[in-house]
C-alpha cells in the first residue's frame, strides 16, 4: 500500500502486469441506459399480464430481465482505482487511448518522447480511421529557455543535452506533421475539421512523465537519473476522487498554464 494513497496497490516484481488493485463497486448515472432499461422492464411486466401463457412468460421475462440488467448497468460500475505495474507497457497506454471517447483532450508531459513514432502512428490510426477527433496537448522540456533543467535531467545519462534537444525538436516536428496528415484525411469526410494540436515547452521540474487520457485515466512514469521513465514502472490511476488523481491533475494544469506556447504560433 502506498502511503497517502489508500486505493493504490503495489505490484511487486513477481506479479505480472495484468494483475491490478482490487476492483471497487461504484455508482454512476448513465441516463440513456437507465431510461431504456426502465422502459424495457416496464414493457416486460406488461407483456406478462397481456400475453397468453406460456408465451407471456418467455417474452415478458426476456424483455423484463433485459431492462433490469440495463438499469443495473446504468447505476453500478466496477472500477479499478489505480495500480503500479512493474514495467512500462505501451499497450496499456494504447488501450486507454482506444477507450477514450471522441473529443477527449490528451495531454502528454515528457522531457522528450523516445517512442514518438509508435505513439504518433497509433494516434493517427485512431484519429483517421476511428475518427476520435482528440485534442492533443503536448508539454516538452524547454531546451531554449531552460537549458540548465535539461542539463540536470541528463547529467547521469549516456545521452547528452544536445541529443535530447534534437529529440525534442524531432518530437515537435513529428506532431506537426501528424496534424497535417490528419487535417488532410479529415478534409472531406469531416467537412474540413482540423486537429486541435497545441505544443508548449516547460521550464519547471516535474517528477516524471504524465499522460492524461481525457477523463478516463492518468498514466505516469518516474524520472530516473540514469534512464527514461519508460524503462521503469508504470503508474495508472482511474479514480477521480483519489488524492493521486487530484495531484496529477494539478501537476498538469499548473504546468500547462506556466509553459511557453510554440504551436500554434502566437
Please tell me the predicted confidence (pLDDT) of residue 191: 84
Please tell me the predicted confidence (pLDDT) of residue 72: 75
Return all residues near 225 (Cβ < 8 A) that are at least 6 apart. 155, 156, 157
Please tell me the predicted confidence (pLDDT) of residue 5: 40
Please tell me the predicted confidence (pLDDT) of residue 9: 39
Please tell me the predicted confidence (pLDDT) of residue 27: 56
Q: Please tell me the pTM assigned to this model.
A: 0.72
If one counts every other C-beta atom within 10 angstroms of the C-beta of residue 107, the result is: 22
Q: What phi, psi does 179 have (nearest 5°)?
A: -60, -45
For residue 262, the surrounding DSSP H or E stretch is strand 260-263
Length of the chain, in residues: 266
Low-confidence ranges of the chain (pLDDT < 70): 1-30, 47-48, 51-52, 55-58, 60, 74, 76-82
9-23+81-263 maps to CATH 3.30.870.10 = yes
Q: Single out the residue of 40, 42, 44 nearest to residue 56, CA to CA.
A: 44
- Alpha helix ranges (H) inside the chain: 31-50, 55-75, 90-99, 116-128, 147-153, 161-186, 243-258
Amino acid at each position: 500500500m502506498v502511503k497517502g494513497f489508500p486505493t493504490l496497490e503495489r505490484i511487486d516484481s513477481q506479479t505480472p502486469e495484468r494483475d491490478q488493485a482490487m476492483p471497487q463497486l461504484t455508482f454512476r448515472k448513465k441516463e440513456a441506459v437507465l431510461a431504456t432499461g426502465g422502459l424495457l422492464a416496464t414493457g416486460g411486466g406488461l407483456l406478462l399480464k397481456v400475453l397468453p401463457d406460456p408465451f407471456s412468460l418467455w417474452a415478458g421475462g426476456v424483455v423484463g430481465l433485459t431492462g433490469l440488467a440495463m438499469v443495473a448497468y446504468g447505476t453500478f460500475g466496477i472500477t479499478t482505482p489505480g495500480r503500479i505495474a512493474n514495467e512500462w507497457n505501451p499497450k496499456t497506454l494504447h488501450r486507454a487511448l482506444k477507450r477514450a471517447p471522441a473529443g477527449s483532450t490528451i495531454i502528454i508531459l515528457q522531457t522528450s518522447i523516445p517512442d514518438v513514432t509508435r505513439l504518433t502512428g497509433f494516434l493517427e490510426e485512431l484519429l483517421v480511421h476511428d475518427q476520435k477527433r482528440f485534442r492533443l496537448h503536448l508539454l516538452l522540456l524547454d531546451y531554449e529557455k531552460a537549458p540548465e533543467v535539461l542539463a540536470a535531467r541528463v547529467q547521469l545519462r549516456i545521452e547528452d543535452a544536445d541529443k535530447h534537444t534534437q529529440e525534442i525538436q524531432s518530437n515537435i516536428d513529428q506532431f506537426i506533421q501528424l496534424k497535417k496528415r490528419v487535417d488532410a484525411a479529415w478534409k472531406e469526410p469531416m467537412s474540413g475539421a482540423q486537429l486541435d494540436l497545441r505544443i508548449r515547452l516547460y521550464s519547471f521540474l516535474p517528477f516524471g512523465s504524465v499522460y492524461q487520457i481525457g477523463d478516463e485515466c492518468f498514466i505516469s512514469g518516474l524520472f530516473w537519473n540514469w534512464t527514461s521513465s519508460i524503462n521503469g514502472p508504470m503508474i495508472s490511476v482511474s479514480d477521480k476522487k483519489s488524492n493521486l488523481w487530484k495531484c496529477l491533475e494539478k501537476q498538469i494544469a499548473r504546468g500547462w498554464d506556466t509553459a511557453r506556447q510554440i504551436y500554434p504560433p502566437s
